[in-house]
Amino acid sequence: MAWQTSTTGGYPWDAAVSRAEHLAAKADATKELLTFYAELLRAQKGIYDFLRGREGWLPSGVLEDDLAVVRRTLPGLLGAVEASGPAALSEEARALSHAGVEEVGRMILEEWRAPTGTRFFAKALLQPYARWLAESGGYPLDRDLERGGNRCPFCGGRAQVSLLRTKEPSADGGGRELLCATCLNTWPFRRVLCANCGEERPALLGYFHTPAYDHIRIEACDTCKHYIKGVDLTRFGLAVPVVDEVAAAPLDVWAHEHAYTKIELNLVGL
């Protein structure tokens, strides 16, 4: 099942789950991480299906007003993390299951309005919410973030991963896009351009690649010392960018050793 993002067909959660399971089965060092991520994606699909299937309800785009519905998806997520997450997250999930309605609401709203990318549970809930908001024709009304070339035009989120895919047969190797860390939409972005600071001088933009991950590379900037991973779908069409990005965790080690900071941590904190 190939990965595609169309706003009419719904987000391909199943393709993401299958890809994570497939990679987990053949992984070594990242097996646990990918097994957990598969469960997490399954829980996110559950959230998405719940929101999407709710009769007579569409997200308003004012998250504060939608919270009562969104909060109802939390127990499923907490259960999945408790059952299959790493110890620290599992502990956090247990604590959160006893937290008050207001505390939970505040956490989700804060991540929506001033995203850090590090509030795991809020980010995990907000991805399917924002995704369904986009697909259902809504707009984030209480998320007043700057837009601009390196920010998601829909929700203002930062780039989680960069990708290359062929759009037209004439495109030479496919156009570059960035994928939003919050709503998972993609938008076109110039090839030789830092997704963090806008550096465009080729001498200051470096790439790191190993044969172990033929279709993935680190795209690093020496001006702002930030990096993002690039997934090349023209080299491997079955890749699912958010999943393959996680599977290539050893590349993050290289980046950190070279003092680069990731533009946005992924859901599993890498």
Binding of Zn ion by 44 (CB under 5 A): no
H/E element, 119: none
Q: Which of 258, 255, 262 is nearest to 161 (CA)?
A: 262
Nearer to Zn ion, 38 or 179 (CB): 179
Helix (H, G, I), strand (E, B) or coil at 135: helix
Decide if 234 contacts 163 (C-beta within 8 A).
no
Asked if 132 interacts with Zn ion (CB under 5 A), we say no
Residue 226 CB, nearest distance to Zn ion (Å)? 5
Shortest Å, Cβ 177 to Zn ion = 12
Stretch in the footprint of Zn ion (CB under 5 A) among 7-15, 49-57, 118-126, 155-163:
155-163
By CB under 5 A, tell whether 219 contacts Zn ion: no
Tokens of 134: 């986009």
Contact present, 182 and 111 (Cβ < 8 Å): no
Question: Which two tokens mark 197?
Answer: 């600071």
Contact flag: residue 155 with Zn ion (CB under 5 A): yes
The strand pair at 216-221 and 226-232 is best described as antiparallel
61 φ/ψ angles, rounded to the nearest 5 degrees = 95, -15
List, in sequence order, every residue forming a beta bridge with 269; answer none if it has no partner.
none
Q: Binding pattern to Zn ion, positions 167-206, x when CB under 5 A?
A: -------------x-xx-x--------x-xx-x-------
Q: How far is the CB of 138 from Zn ion (least distance, A)?
A: 12
Which residue reads 């706003």 in tokens?
7
Do residues 196 and 224 make contact, with C-beta atoms less than 8 angstroms apart? yes
Instruction: Report if residue 99 touches Zn ion, rule: CB under 5 A.
Output: no
Tell me if 154 contacts Zn ion by CB under 5 A: yes
Size of the site for Zn ion (CB under 5 A): 15
Taking the least distance from each CB to Zn ion, the nearer of 90 and 136 is: 136
Interface residue list for Zn ion (CB under 5 A): 152, 154-155, 157, 180, 182-183, 185, 194, 196-197, 199, 221, 223-224
